[in-house]
Amino acid sequence: MPAGLCAALFLRLTRFRAAREGSAAVEFGMVLPPFFMILSAVFEAGLLTLAQQTLDTGVDRAGRTVFTGAFQEKADGSDPATRFRAALCDGPALFDCAAVKVEVTTAQTFSATALSDPYDANAKALAAGFGTRFQCPAGNDVVTVRAAVTVPRFFPLLDLSPRKLGSGGQLLVATAVFRAEPYAAGRC
């Protein structure tokens, strides 16, 4: 290679390395995708946390009516699970209240309580049999209330949950276990 060609090539490489006109655009292009991924993860985590808190609050509020016997006193012959779901969703909700599955079971002691798992690991979905039991509590019964709902995930690629759903959603579960007050046996 001739010496003049090498000198010209070296001069161009030196100038290219010293040029800074597009460096901000290149750096911004390198930082933008990770920034948007982190921003998306924070946004989705906030929504999921708020939806979980809403479900927990609803279970506490509706469970309180069962705890005191007010739920049984207001029985009107309609489906108790539907009435309980309405009490659970009496307020703002970040999920579809019609999709909430509710189970209320009773036992005589805390050690005799049986919790059914709302997650079906084989189907990667909400368990088909979950939400079919509603046992009308009586006074002094140990009551277990479980509610589960699937909420959509906006960024399923960022899902780190060990209980993944095939639909790309997130399963939210709220549980309350308590001994009901000693009220007279009512009807649901």
Write the pLDDT tens digit of every residue in 96-106: 999 999 999 99
Q: Which residues of 51-73 are buried (b: 16+ CB within 10 A; e: fewer)?
A: bbebbbebbeebbebbbebebbe
Share of the chain above pLDDT 70, in %: 94
Residue 93 within any structural domain of the chain = yes
Query: What confidence tier does 5 reach under pLDDT thresholds 50, 70, 90?
Result: confident
Phi and psi at 4, nearest 5°, equal: -65, -35
Residue 12 within any structural domain of the chain = no
**Which one has a higher pLDDT value, 8 or 145?**
145
Residue 46 within any structural domain of the chain = yes
Residue 16 within any structural domain of the chain = no
Flag whether pLDDT at 29 surpasses 60.
yes
**Model confidence pLDDT, tens digit, residues 116-127:** 899 998 888 889
Domain that holds residue 63: 21-179
Looking at residues 56-82, what average pLDDT do you find? 91
Flag whether pLDDT at 165 surpasses 70.
yes
Identify the pLDDT of residue 179. Answer: 94
Residue 156 within any structural domain of the chain = yes
Identify the pLDDT of residue 16. Answer: 66
Q: Which residues pair with 169 in a beta bridge?
A: 152
**Model confidence pLDDT, tens digit, residues 126-153:** 898 998 999 989 889 999 999 999 998 8
Identify the pLDDT of residue 1. Answer: 57
Q: Which two tokens stand for residue 114?
A: 């049986």
Going from the C-alpha of 156 to that of each of 49, 161, 168, 180, the distances in angstroms are 16, 10, 6, 40
Identify the pLDDT of residue 101. Answer: 94
- β-sheet with 169-179: strand ranges across: 101-107, 142-152, 169-179
Identify the pLDDT of residue 19. Answer: 65
Q: Which two tokens stand for residue 129?
A: 């049999």
Residue 120 within any structural domain of the chain = yes
Contact 115, 144 (CB under 8 A): yes
Flag whether pLDDT at 59 surpasses 80.
yes
Flag whether pLDDT at 53 surpasses 60.
yes
The total domain count for the chain is 1
